[in-house]
């Protein structure tokens, strides 16, 4: 009987120890889980803050570039067109009536074009214009602005957009496009620029290609990226929206930048 009692006591003690150990393990596991959740929330907050900071910086950079494009357009296009229209409207006594009428019509047509250009400028000053007109149309307008400078031959090819793009992603994509064009303008000494947009159900592919002097092999591309010539900014912005950015370049043959955006809608 005493032996039976000792066995019961031993079982109770062992069970108590196991229960305490199990309880301790559960508490430790809960603490670890809480710590992981806190760390995870911190990481999410950091990612969100970085994302919002990048969006704000991108908006400011796009606005800065917009003002630069407006200044260039006012100087190169609108200003010269106004001067030309004024000359056409000048009436010389030696002119025939038919010649004066032809000049008047040409001047009026030029003034209509000036009004359209000013309207486009007014639209571009609207903070929500990119969302309103759409990513493709915004790129088309920028290409038309560059074409008027007569420095480049530009082309845009795209297929139909399945549905509306995510507003944040299209903003950062437009910045990447803008940065690529700025790089070409500043460094490439290119003559021809082609832009392609391939919209698919689960991804968007943006490709910008030029025939400039090029960067060279992969090591040179990495050096350019490290120096922060624009490639590094594009890579960082692409990373924020989960996109991949690839650069192919050959000396004296040009550069090709491809951005693949998964789930862009």
Note the pLDDT tens digit of each residue in 140-165.
988 887 887 788 999 999 998 888 88
Q: How far apart are CA 256 and CA 231, in angstroms?
A: 12
Share of the chain above pLDDT 70, in %: 64
Strand ranges across the sheet with 192-199: 153-158, 192-199, 203-210, 254-262, 244-250
Q: Check if the beta carbon of residue 230 is closer than 8 Å to that of residue 239.
A: no
Q: Check if the beta carbon of residue 250 is closer than 8 Å to that of residue 227.
A: no
**Mean pLDDT score, 184-213:** 93
Task: Label residue 111 exposed, middle or buried (CB < 10 Å: 0-12, 13-18, 19+).
Answer: middle
Domain ranges of the chain: 135-265
Confidence of residue 204 (pLDDT cuts 50, 70, 90): very high
DSSP β-bridge partners for residue 206: 197, 259
Say yes or no to pLDDT of 40 above 90: no
Fold of 135-265: Heat Shock Protein 90 (3.30.565)
Global confidence as pTM? 0.60
Say yes or no to pLDDT of 127 above 60: no
Q: How far apart are CA 210 and CA 191, in angstroms?
A: 8
Q: Is 175 helix (H, G, I), strand (E, B) or coil?
A: helix
């Amino acid at each position: 009987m005493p032996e039976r009692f000792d066995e019961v006591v031993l079982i109770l003690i062992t069970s108590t120890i196991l229960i305490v150990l199990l309880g301790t393990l559960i508490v430790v596991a809960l603490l670890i889980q809480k710590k992981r959740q806190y760390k995870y929330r911190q990481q999410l907050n950091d990612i969100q803050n970085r994302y919002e900071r990048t969006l704000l910086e991108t908006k400011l950079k796009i606005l800065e570039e917009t003002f630069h494009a407006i200044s260039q357009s006012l100087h190169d296009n609108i200003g010269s067109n106004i001067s030309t229209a004024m000359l056409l409207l000048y009436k010389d006594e030696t002119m025939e009536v038919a010649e004066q009428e032809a000049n008047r019509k040409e001047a009026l047509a030029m003034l209509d074009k000036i009004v359209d250009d000013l309207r486009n400028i007014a639209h571009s000053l609207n903070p929500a214009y990119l969302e309103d007109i759409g990513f493709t149309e915004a790129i088309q307008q920028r290409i038309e602005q560059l074409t008027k400078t007569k420095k480049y031959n530009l082309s845009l090819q795209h297929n139909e957009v399945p549905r509306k793009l995510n507003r944040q992603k299209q903003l950062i994509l437009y910045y990447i496009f803008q940065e690529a064009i700025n790089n070409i303008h500043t460094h490439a000494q290119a003559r021809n620029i082609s832009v392609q947009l391939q919209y698919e159900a689960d991804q968007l592919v943006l490709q910008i290609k030029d025939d400039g002097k090029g960067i060279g092999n992969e090591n040179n591309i990495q050096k350019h990226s490290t120096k922060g010539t624009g490639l590094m900014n594009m890579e960082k912005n692409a990373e924020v929206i989960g996109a991949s950015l690839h650069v192919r370049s050959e000396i004296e043959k040009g550069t090709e930048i491809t951005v693949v955006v998964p789930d862009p809608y």
